[in-house]
Every structure is written in C-alpha cells, then in structure tokens.
Structure 1
Amino acid sequence: MKLFKLGLVPQILIGVVAGALLGMAAPAVAEPLGLLGQLFVGMLKAVAPLLVMLLVMSAIANRHESGADGRKGLLTLLLYLAGTISAAVVALLMSQWFPQTITLTDVAEGSPPVAVAAVLADVLFKLIDNPVNALLTGNFLGCLTWAILLGISFRRASAAFKEHLQTLADGVSDIVRYVIRLAPLGIFGLVCVTVATTGVEALAGYASLALLLVACMLIVALVVNPLIVYLLTRRNPYPVVLQCLEESGITAFFTRSSAANIPVNLALAKKLGISEELYSVTIPVGATVNMAGAAITITVLTLAAANTLGIEVSFATALLLCVIAALSACGASGVPSGSLLLVPLACSLFGISVDVAMQVVAVGFIISVIQDSAETALNSSTDVIYTYAVDQRGGADG
C-alpha cells in the first residue's frame, strides 16, 4: 500500500487527523482503540531505561581524544556543552513566561516533593541506586550514573570489547526504531481517546506546546548562537549562521537525523574553510553530544508536566533541571525522537512517576512531526556554527 511507503512524519500526521476525526465521530470505539496507545507507551517504557544506559555508556567508552589540535577540539566540546545548557535556560525562561499544561490521565500518581531539599535528597538516592534495580524500576538517574561510571571504566577496555559495546547499543537503538515505526498507530489510539474524552481542546493545547518548542529553538538559532559566534570571532555572525541553517538545517529538518546529516556538515565545513583537522573530529562528535534542541524539548515537556501536576518549580530546582537536561540530551543521539525518551529522567527530579512521564512522552510523539524536525535542524546546524567559531577564533589568536 502507498500508505506504508510514506515517511514516518506523514504517517504520524495521518494518525493524528484520523484519530481526531474518529474520536469526534464515534466516541464509543475510542476506548478499545486506546489500547494501541497504551501498548505503544508500554513498549517505550520498557526499552527507554536500557537505551539511556547503553547509549551513554557506549558514547563515553568509545569517545576518541582530539588529535594534533586538542585545544581547539576541547574548546569546541566545551562550547557544545555551554550552548546546550544555554538552550535549556532559554526553554526554562520561555516556559515560565508562557506556562504549558498537558492533558494527562491518573495524574494523582505523581508524588512531587514539596521542597528543594527533598528533591535533592531524592536525586542523591536515585543516583546511587543499584543498576539492576534502576533498570527494573525505570530510575533514569540511576541508569545515567552507572552509564557514566561504566563508560569511563570501559575506556581502558580492549578495542574489541568497546566495539561489542557499541554493537549492543546499536542493537537497542534498532529496537527503539522498530517501536517508533509503530508511532502512527499508537498516536492514532492516543488522539482518538483524548478527543473522545476531553474534546478537541486537548489538541489545541498540543499545538500551543509545539509552538513554544519551535519558538525556543528559533531563539537559540537566531539569537543565542549568533551571540556566541560574535563573542568568539568579533565578526558579524549572521552570514555564517544563516548559511548553516540553509545548507545544514534544512537538510536535517527533513532527514530528522543528526548522524545522517554528518556528510552534509563535513562538506559545509570544508566549504567554509574550516581546518579539516578540527572539523573531521568535532562534526561527528557534535552529532552525538551537541544537543541544544534536545535540551529544549526535555526542559519544556518536563516543566509542562510539573505545571500539570501543580508542582512549584523553585529557582534552584530549575537550574538543576537545566543541567540535567543538557547532560542527558547527549544520550538522545542516533535515535529519531530520542530526546523524548529522556523526558522521564528529568521528570524524576520532581518525583513524577514513570507512568505519568511516559504519557508526556506520548504527547511529545504527537507533536514530533514539528518538534523532532526543528530539533534536528538546530542540533545539526549548530555543530558547524560552533566549529566555525572555534576555528576562526584559533586563527585570530594564532
């Protein structure tokens, strides 16, 4: 059938429209069809903790040191981290100015702490959780801790072992891709139930959430990134920023994969006259760790969940969220809509249950038609922009 030959984005659009129409026309059939959405969320819930652990562990274990020009490479990595944290801060501020809520079921399952001290204590205990228990209970903070520690330890392992570790991570990523291929059916069921029970107002809320996400990404792309480039090069940043958005961002918008866009970025970096010794390292690494768009998605959706549950987010907790969103975003690489699977990690900061967090993930998939494309465009184009800025700064200094 021609329907199955369409890309994932058109299929998701069809699922959203078909689910909304059926939910309005025949509410009686919405409940049995809702099983599709529940199964989809359940599969995501099952694979997400293992995915986070293996992706981060493998990424750290297989990370190569920069070659002859380590200083430039290190500066680029630091710039990636600074840009990702800045994106999370932008998302935080925008979420406070334009607070969002999400239509969820069984929101009473959340057990939000009432004080920052309780949040920090809960975070510390989750960080030192047993790795097996962290996987079984969906403790994403525990999974992240063990992934980092084991990844650092495995850096001294043999090349064969690290290759097998990467193969294992790729295998789980493939499973996630298979699950995500079922997103149109799952979203069809979720939208059908949502419209039948709460009306089309819920979809309007999703549109507002998508608009906020895109607005945050545009601010980072057109304000934050140019400012960073200017601070490093002391030149008008917009020509190169707009060129990167045009030649890298547009391609990434449609491919929805930073990894698939690496050849495009390498060609663009060469075109911009960047040192090959630098971009041959930073562009592939950037496709893994430079995830400003993912940090925005994680922050906005987590704060929307907190608003829905009536959790008051203090300044200290908000800053902690920005750091966690930036660090965990590195694990979103290589998987379409991978940032959505890391939302539960950030939600756990506020004591939000995995079941409720996975409902937020499902909402993210509904708007992923726009969110994931814009996120990938920002991530991929920023790889070249920051590499260019460091190269130009190095040239000026030298």
Structure 2
Amino acid sequence: MRELFKKWNDISLVKRIVIGLIIGIILALTVPTYASPIVIFGSLFVGALKGVAPILVFFLVMTAISQHKSGKKTNMSSIIGLYLLGTFLAGLVAVIASFMFPITLTLGAEVNDIAPPGGVVEVLKNLLMNIVDNPVKALFNANYIGILAWALVLGLALKNSAESTKRMISNVADALSQVVRWIISFAPFGIMGLVFDSIATQGLETLLGYGQLIILLVGSMAFIALVVNPLIVFIAIRKNPYPLVLKCLKDSGITAFFTRSSAANIPVNMGLCHELGLDKDTYSVSIPLGATINMGGAAITISILTLAAVHTLDIQVDRGMALVLSLLSAVSACGASGVAGGSLLLVPLACSLFGIPNDIAMQVVGVGFIVGVIQDSCETALNSSTDVLFTAVAELAKRRKKEIKNVKYSKDTN
C-alpha cells in the first residue's frame, strides 16, 4: 500500500486531476446511483479549502507587512494599476464580444433566498462596511476585504515588534501554506466528487443546452488570457510575452481551475513568484491583494450575462451605455468578494442599467449557476494566473527601465 501511495504521488498533480475528472464523468454516466457516496469527497475538498483560505490570507498579508523593511521600494502602485486596467479591459472585451455574437437565453431558472445589491452606491457601501468588519466575523464569514484590511493594520502595528514575534507569525503563515498544499494534493478525489455531483444532478444535456453561452464566456476569457494580457506584457517589457504568460497559465491557472478558489491558490502563486525570482516584499502583498481585487474573469461574467438578458428582451443599447457597462462591471468585479454570491449576484445590478426587472435578472443569475461549473472554473483560472502575471510584469518593467537608465548613463559618461 505504501509503495502504491508513493507511485500515485510521483504522478504530476495535473495528471492525477485529469484521472479523477475522467473517473467522475464515467461514474456519473454509468452508475450514478451506486457511486453517489463519492459526492462527499467533493464536499470535503471544497469545505477544507474554504476553511483554511481566510486565515491563510490573514497571516500571509500580516507577515509580509510586518517584515517589510522601511524605505525599501515596491511596485505596488504599478501592480494595482495593472490589476485595474486588466479588469476594465476584460469587461470591455466581454461587451464587444456580446455585440459581435449576441446570445439569447431561455429564462425560467429561478433563484431563491438571495438578494442582489440595489445599486453601485450599495456595492461601495458594502465594500466600506466590509473593510471595518469585526476581524473574527470577517474570518468566520470569509470576508476577504475585511481580512485584508485587518491584516494590513495589524502588520503595520507589528513592524516594530520583536523579531521573535515576527518569526512566529511567519512560521504560522508557512504552516498554513503547507496545509493548503496538503489539501490540494487531494484535489483528484475532490474533483472526482464535484464532477460526479454536477453531471449526476444536472446532466450533460443541461450544460450542452447553454453551449453558446459557455463558449462566449470561455472564449472571452481565453481572448483576455492569450491576446490582451500578452499585449500588456509586451508593451511593458518589450519582449516575447508568451513564455511568461503560458507559464503562469500552466503553473497557476490549472490548479486554480480545479480548486475554483483564488484564495486557496495563493500558496501556488507565491511559489511561482519565488521560482520567477521576484521580490518577496512585493509579491507577498500583491498576490493576496490580487486574490481580492483582480477580477477580470468576474467582469467578463457580469458583462456577458447582462447583455444576454438585454438581447433576450430585445433592448437597444448604444455605445455610451456599453462603455458604462464596462466600467460598472470592472468596479463591481473588484468588490465581488465582499458581496455574498460573488460575481453572479452582481448581474442584477448591471441589468438595472437597462431597466430590466429584478425578477428577470434573477432568472439570469439562475442560468449563471447552471453554467457555473465551467464558468467559475475558467473565471478563477484567469483571475489567479493574472495575479502572478501582473506582479511579474511590474517588476520586469522596472528592471528594464533601470537597465535603459544605466546604458544611457554609461553613454553619457563616455
């Protein structure tokens, strides 16, 4: 048994996940009744990730801030600028794609017992209230905006504390990162249970019935990942962007796709940043921050589902309103983690721009939950891999500017 376990662990995680995925699909299509107990694997996997992710973010950010050396410059302003630019461009691309390939929906998928925000002001208010939330409550409810805020404050307060205290906090952060790695190592079994549950309860026919919508969502996300993001990278570093882009997608995006949690993918991203030789003082803050506000995938989801409702109801939209939708989806996406239900619950807010009644908008949210098996995975993969990509781009661009400055200085002195 020990030898078998060792051989299993020697197989790469991605290959193990694919094996679990295939087994889950086969069992769901052949013996769904007899194999139903494996659903518990998916529930345990998701529950474990949800349980450890909030406290992991809290300690990682607090450790990074408390150990930051005063006077040492970071690229945080550039990284935040890239996060916001990437999110806006994602929303804009989704709007353009929705007009090029208009999708109509067969509504009727109801969603009960959830209340969408009433407007942009309410979203911003929720965002601010989440910042000052009780820290214990924030951890309990996985309020990442509040967790981030308290981690920043406590990290600043601990900057002048004893080195032994800082070392202890750092050790806790390292231990929590190791716990996440252990949980992710069980991903093949969790994925098997999740895929089995999705197909056994909804059926492949249900997903295929929304095939056009899924293709538009995934296609827009792929366009951002493989065209827009590489263009941003090229402009910043003036080199072939694809080696870096593809590495981020392979090493970060694949695990994020299956875990469906940007927060749980933080240790993977931190390890990738270390492998890329990036500044730890920068990425130890930018990666947890990106898991909270870098939401290009969410902006795509909000824009496409909203315009699908618009096309279904045959509402005419001019370019000005389309641009406003791009901005609104970007702003809303940044606050998605502070709103119960994530990006899907912000669709009614965007629908209100076009006068779409709330009951119809909530039916669109119901459609979103149906395709969420694929949409949420792709959305998380895009969001998480871009966290590393933009962190790397900011540092590489800074190094390039420094090299140009040094070359210019040497020419002037000669």
Q: Is this a same-fold pair by TM over 0.5?
A: yes
Report what 2:10 is aligned to: 5
CA distance in 1, matches of 2:40, 2:385: 30
Report what 1:318 is aligned to: 329
Contact 2:145 2:338 in 1 (8 A): yes
Answer yes or no: is 1:45 the counterpart of 2:56: no
Q: 1:376 to 1:128 in 2, by over 3 A?
A: closer
Alignment of 1:89-104 (within 5 A): 89-98=88-97
More divergent stretch after superposition (293-302 vs 19-28): 293-302
Contact 2:63 2:166 in 1 (8 A): yes
1:219 paired residue among 207, 227, 232: 227
Report what 1:56 is aligned to: 61
1:21 paired residue among 2, 26, 38: 26
For each residue in 1:219-270, what CA deviation from the matched residue of structure 2 results, as whole angstroms up to 9, or x when unmatched? 34421222344xxxxxxx2xx244xx43x5555555544544557644xxxx
For each residue in 1:287-314, what CA deviation from the matched residue of structure 2 results, as whole angstroms up to 9, or x when unmatched? 4355598689744147638977999996
Answer yes or no: is 1:149 the counterpart of 2:153: yes
Q: What one-letter code is carried by the residue in structure 1 that aligns with 2:235?
A: L
Contact 2:233 2:393 in 1 (8 A): yes
Alignment of 1:161-310 (within 5 A): 161-200=165-204, 202=207, 209-229=217-237, 237=238, 240-242=239-241, 245-246=242-243, 248=244, 255-256=251-252, 257-261=268-272, 265-266=276-277, 283-290=279-286, 298-301=295-298, 304=301
CA distance in 2, matches of 1:252, 1:316: 26
Q: What one-letter code is carried by the residue in structure 2 that aligns with 1:91?
A: A
In the alignment, structure 1 segments of 5+ residues that lack a partner are 68-72, 230-236, 267-281, 325-342
Q: 1:127 to 1:381 in 2, by over 3 A?
A: closer
Report what 1:83 is aligned to: 82
Q: How many residues align?
A: 342
3-state SS of 1:64 partner = coil
1:140 paired residue among 141, 144, 151: 144
Contact 1:9 1:369 in 2 (8 A): no
Q: 1:165 to 1:188 in 2, by over 3 A?
A: same
CA distance in 2, matches of 1:358, 1:55: 31
Identity of aligned residues (%): 23
CA distance in 1, matches of 2:148, 2:48: 20
CA distance in 2, matches of 1:173, 1:360: 31
TM-score by length of 1: 0.68
CA distance in 1, matches of 2:331, 2:379: 25
Contact 2:66 2:155 in 1 (8 A): yes
CA distance in 2, matches of 1:370, 1:215: 13
Contact 1:287 1:379 in 2 (8 A): no
RMSD: 4.3
CA distance in 2, matches of 1:195, 1:349: 23
CA distance in 2, matches of 1:369, 1:136: 22
Q: 1:122 to 1:346 in 2, by over 3 A?
A: closer
Q: 1:284 to 1:149 in 2, by over 3 A?
A: closer
Report what 2:402 is aligned to: 391
Q: What one-letter code is carried by the residue in structure 2 that aligns with 1:124?
A: L
CA distance in 2, matches of 1:175, 1:199: 34
Displacement, 1:370?
6.7
CA distance in 1, matches of 2:181, 2:36: 27
Displacement, 1:94?
3.2
Q: 1:253 to 1:369 in 2, by over 3 A?
A: same
CA distance in 2, matches of 1:358, 1:51: 27
CA distance in 2, matches of 1:119, 1:13: 38
Displacement, 1:321?
3.7
CA distance in 1, matches of 2:134, 2:380: 37
Q: What one-letter code is carried by the residue in structure 1 that aligns with 2:21?
A: V
3-state SS of 2:115 partner = coil
Displacement, 1:46?
1.7
TM-score by length of 2: 0.66
CA distance in 2, matches of 1:44, 1:359: 22
CA distance in 2, matches of 1:368, 1:117: 25
Contact 2:88 2:326 in 1 (8 A): no
3-state SS of 2:168 partner = helix
Q: 1:182 to 1:366 in 2, by over 3 A?
A: farther
CA distance in 2, matches of 1:110, 1:51: 28
In the alignment, structure 2 segments of 5+ residues that lack a partner are 253-267, 311-323, 347-365, 410-414
Q: 1:143 to 1:289 in 2, by over 3 A?
A: closer
Answer yes or no: is 1:118 the counterpart of 2:118: no
Return the index of the structure with the highest Cα Rg.
2
Displacement, 1:218?
2.2
